[in-house]
Structure formats: C-alpha cells, structure tokens
Amino acid sequence: MAEAEKAVKGKYRIEHLAGTGGMSRVFSARQAETGRHVAVKLLRVRDPSPQLDPTLRLHHRLVNEARSMSRLDHPNLCKVLEVSIQGDIPFLVMEWADGVDLEVAWAKHDRRQRLSLFLKIVDAIAAAHAGGVVHGDLKPDNILVDRRGEPTIVDFGLARSERDGPMGLATSGGTPGYAPPECFEGQAEVTPASDVFSLGVMLFRLLTDHTPWPDDMAPALLVEQMRRSDPPLPEQFVPDTPPDLQRICLAALERKSENRYASAEQMAADLRRSLRRETVTARPTMLVRRFDAQVRRTIDSTREWLRLGLVTPESAGAMLARLNSMARADTPWVADARRVSWSQATLQAGGAVTVVAVFVGVVLSGTTGSALAVRLAAFGLVLALTVLGVWLARAGQARIAAGMLWAAFLAAPATAWLVVDRLVTLGGTHVVPESILGPIGAFLGSTLTGPTDAQMTVIAGVATLWAVLGRWAARTSAFTLAAFVSVFATWVSLGSVMNAAPLPIMTLLFGAGSLALGLSLDWDEQRTERESGAVRGRARDARAVLGAASLCVSIGAASGALLMPGAIWGVASGPGAMESGWGAGLLVGAAIPAFLAYVVAQRVTPMRALVGAVARGQTALQALAGVALLEYGAVLGTPIGPGPMWFWALLLGALLAGFIGVRMKWRVVLFVGHASLALWTVRLLAEAPTPTAALVRAGIAVGGGLVLMLLAWRLPIWRERRRLRRWAKRRRLHNGEPPSASWG
C-alpha cells in the first residue's frame, strides 16, 4: 500500500490490493479530485536502464500494454486513463472493471445466452485487431462480467502492437492451454490468429464446460500435446452440440495459424451466421482429414466387396466414382452446388447479366454509326474483367476470381467475333441456320446472320485462350472442360473451312487423340494420389478430358453410320437400302467402343471403370441396333447377305448379350440383351404369314415366357436341394450313419 501511495504521489487514494499477477499488482483506488473509482496497476519494473536490462525487453513488453490499451476505444475493452513509465515505479490507471470472471458469469446460462455474451467478447477483440493490437493472453480470468451482463476485457500485459514493432519479433508468452502453440516458440510470428485460438478454447468451454486438453497436465507437456494432437470434438462431451458451432470452434483451434480465422472479425461473422441459422464458412482441416480417412476406408471396402464378388463392377465403379467425387475439394466454380451462398448466387447473377448485356448490346450497336467503338469498348471491358479475375486468383480469392473469369470466358468469344466482323470480312458457310436466327433476331429487334465457319474458328480460338487462362489462374478443372469444348469447336470449324473430312470422322479423330491424353492424365493423377495421398486442393483434369473424349469417340462411332448408305447405294438400290446402310455402319462402328472398353480396362481407376461401363453398353446397343436395322432393310427389300440371316443373328446377339451380361456382371449389356430379345419377339410375330399363325406364335411365346419365369423360380431351389442331398450322402458315408428321411 505504501509503495502504491508513493508511486501515485497523492493523485489517487489507494484503498486496497485487488489482485496480483506475474508482472503487476492491481490496487483499488479513488481519484483524489473527483472520487472516481479506478484501478492502479503497478508494473514490476524498478529501473528500465540498460545496465539492469541491456535489451530493455521486459520494459518494452510492459510499456506496450500502456500504448496499446490507450489507443483502444470499445465499451467492452478496459480503457486506460493515465500512463506513468518515467518514475521509479511505472504504473497505469484504468477504469475500474467491476464483476466476476467469465466462467462464473455464465455458469447458470444456457447455450444461447452464453453465445450472446461470447459474441460481445469476440466483437471487442475484433476491434482490438482492427486497431493493430493482439491481446496475447485471452482467458476467462481476464474477462470480467458486470451485473448487467456486459463483459470487460482486461490485462493486456502480453499485448503486441503492429505500430510498436513487427509482430514476428514478439516475445513468447501466454497461458498454456489457452495460448496457441506458436506463442511458446522462440521468435515465432504472433498474429491476430493467436487470439482466435484463445477464443476457440473459450468457445469449447462454452459448449462443453471442459477444456480441450487436461487442466492437470504439466505446462511443457500441455504445450507439446497442443502442438502434436488435434482437440477432441465438442460433441464427444455434449452430443447435441450444433454442427456449425462445432466447426467454428475447431476452425479456431487449428494447430497451424494459417488454417484459423485470420482475425476475430471473421470468427464473429461466422457466429452470427450460426445464430441466424445460415451456413458457416468454417471448414476445419481436422474434420476434413477425418472425412478423407472415412472415404478412403469406404473405397478400400468397396474394392474388397468387388474382389469377393459381392457387388457388380458397374455398382463398384459408380460407388468409387461418387466416393472420389466426394473426396475432392469444394471447387471455386460458382456452379458448385455443394457450397451455395448468397455471395455465390449474387456473383453468378451478376456474371449472367454482364455477359448477356455485353453480347446483346454490341449486337444491337450494329445499327449505330459507332458500332466499332462500342465493340472495341466491350472487348476492353472483357479484358479488364479478365485481368481483375487473374489478380484476385493470385491474391487467394479463388471463388470470386473463378466467377469473374467465367464471365470473361463467356463474353470474350462473342465480343472478339463482333470486333473481327467489323474489321475483316470472313466468308464461308453460316454455322447457325437462318431458321433459328430469324426468330431470335425478331425478339431482339435486329437482324442476325450468325457466324460463318471462318468466324467460328476465331470465336472458338478466343474461347480456347480464355479457358486456358482461366484454368491456369483459378486452378479448377471446370475450365478444363471449357477448354476441351473450345478446342473441339476450333478443330471442327477448321475442318469445315478446309473441307478436310465429314463431321463424324472429325469428331472420331479428335476423340481418339484426346482419349490418349485423358487416359495418361487419369493414370498420372491416380499414381500421384497413391504416392502422396489425396490432396483436396488439386484440380482433377482427367475427369473432364477423359469423359469428353469418350463422348466424342462414342458419338463419332455412332454417327459414322450415317456415311454408310452412300457406299451401299453404290452396290444396291431400292427400298430399305438406306436402313441397311445405317445398320451396316452401326455394326461396323461397334468395334470402336468395344476397343475403347478394352483399352480402359487395362488399368483400373474409378474414372476408367465408368468409361468402360458406358463403352460396353454402347458396344452392345450399337451392334444389336445395327443387326436390327439390317433385318429391317432386308424386310423392306434390300438385304445384305442371305435374307433370314439377320433375323436369327438378332436372336443370337440377344442371347449372347444376356450371357455376357450375367457372366461378367455387366448390367447395361444385360438390359440391352433383354431389349433385343423383346425386339426379336416382335419380329417373330410380324413374320407370321397369317393372323392365325401370328396368334399361334404369340401363344407359344407367352408359354415360353412363363416357362422361363417358372424356371427362374424353381431351378435355384432344385439345385440347392440337390447340393444338400449330395452333402448329406457324403456325411453319412464318412460317419457311417444310417440313411435319414430328412433329405429323401
């Protein structure tokens, strides 16, 4: 008391000692002139001289408290009234904070009342962070709650200020169990995320009335455990813990500071979202790791089920594809339905309005005298949007950047075409027919002609450039698919300009070339995942390339049948020649998806399994459809080969498809076989010479169908009984038992 009286020199009347700490003593006092109740805090620094403290480290650490707190002005932060650091006994004078500590204050409160109180604390720390101050020692003992329920944060003895020096040179300190692990590492960077960790510990206590780590552990062991292990889930203590609050808590308790909320302001925003029952942004890496491990175990189990024959390859492939899709990270693509938010929807709506307005505006500008200037300005706007998107992507704003780059990708080809159309006349065949452009132009109040094949080359080339740029900047495979489509459009339009080959052949060649790229990418991604584990931030390009390439191969193989009638007409003409030509084309073209299925089956990955299932289904469907068309062409009068051959080939193909489908567990092939058998039944009835004969055949078919259904019912039972009889006979012979009537 005498020491405190000596320090304040009569300006304050010291009443009693209110508390002591490691670096200070706090006295209750009254201002001599006004009688105002204040707290006088004597600092334990006798002489801040270089002789006693060469680096003045301790002195500067305590002086920072005064400077930091004097700059803060928030109703829930204790305000500094006076600072004296020049005398023999440095001291601070602060507002008197009356109340009990946080844990006592909320002991009888329910969860929502606790959250309301906690949110005020987080807002106060957010204000400190906005002022460049990190508290550094947040814990319930340093938060006093008065009778009105208003909290006051005190004791900034470990505060760091951005204005007083680099945070990265801050000294270690804090309370073990509340301060993050980096606070106990020499010369470690201490940021607002350090306070976020302490807030996470308090939120854990709010939800569970427990600390994330044992209280009775030695400080050194406690810090080591915090550094090496994740905290338990709050729901392990309180099962009805809301999942969103649990995610917020775990996101604040991340071991690495870069994975936490960057400041208390972001944490407060998520808390308010939770109170409004909105989706929170927290995605704790701890839960992500657990989720990845569970998905990986399920993938391994699915492969084991497939090995044991408990599931079909199609079911296993579909499940593996879905599981791998679930394991991928949420992409920043605005169309990702797994994380839809208001900002995401607003971004998408703004992009749609921008793209449509730019395109329609520059089209309608053709009626004005300044059409070229308008179109150049529109293209300049697209360039500016692209630059902004790339800059945001480099700055880490992936989702916003992806939305802007998508808008630029959609608008750039149209504006580039309209600019080129004004500068250079590109002739050729119009890609879009007038029958489609006429009504669109009437709706827009203008006349549209549509791009020619040469103009389409420019459009597709620009789209390719922007798609590649978006893939590089946003690092999402959504732009990979856009680039694939753009390159394909460029390939087709160039082929049209050069009269290189028909469209089906161009499609087939492009698909075959890109298929090799897709298979290589898919295997490389799977190998990388096996070697380094699943990385949720890695873009998966193989899915887009391999899927689109397989589609091109399938469409090219099927549409190639349209080219066969010309060859057939050169051999024979008459009714049914076109149908026979198409049938021959489909039958021959079925070798292409069959070869595709064979190639992708050489190595097993989820994506290859899916492509293989589709290719096998198309092989069966295309082959049997070709046989059916050949049969139809023979009926119309232009058979290829002996007349009845294709009739019986359809039945044989249906039975073969059914046998292969059952034997290999290929469900799609089995369904195609059933459909072909039904079609053959129709042809069987249609081939009857008279209605009476057709009725007889129908009766026989009905009887045969019923017999098949009865056999499907009873045959397994008969086989099982026979097996049991054999087993019982062997058992009697082995044990010498008399015959039993049980298996008679």
Q: Any long-range contacts for 279-283 (C-beta under 8 Å, 24+ apart)? A: 279/244, 279/339, 279/341, 280/244, 280/247, 280/248, 282/244, 282/247, 282/248, 282/250, 282/251, 283/247, 283/251, 283/330
Radius of gyration of the chain (CA): 38
From 137, 155, 195, 421, the catalytic residue: 137
Q: 24-31 and 12-20: which strand pairing?
A: antiparallel
Please tell me whether residue 526 adopts helix, strand or coil conformation: helix
Phi/psi at 240 (nearest 5 deg)?
Answer: -95, 20
| Sheet containing 100-101: order of strands | 100-101, 143-145, 151-153
CB neighbours of 82 closer than 8 A, spacing ≥ 6? 92, 93
Which amino acid type is present at position 669? V
Q: What sign does the dihedral 214-215-220-224 (CA atoms) show? A: positive
Rounded Cα distance between 95 and 150, Å, is 14
721: nearest Cα among 740, 705, 743, 738: 743
What is the per-residue DSSP string for 451-510?
Answer: -BHHHHHHHHHHHHHHHHHHHHHH--THHHHHHHHHHHHHHHHHHHHHT-S-HHHHHHHH
- Opening angle at CA 718, ends 712 and 719, nearest 5: 90
CA 605 to chain centre: 20
300 is catalytic: no
Rounded Cα distance between 465 and 579, Å, is 43
Phi/psi at 120 (nearest 5 deg)?
Answer: -65, -40
What is the per-residue DSSP string for 51-105?
Answer: TT-TT-HHHHHHHHHHHHHHH---TTBPPEEEEE-SSSS-EEEEE---SEEHHHH
Catalytic residues: 137
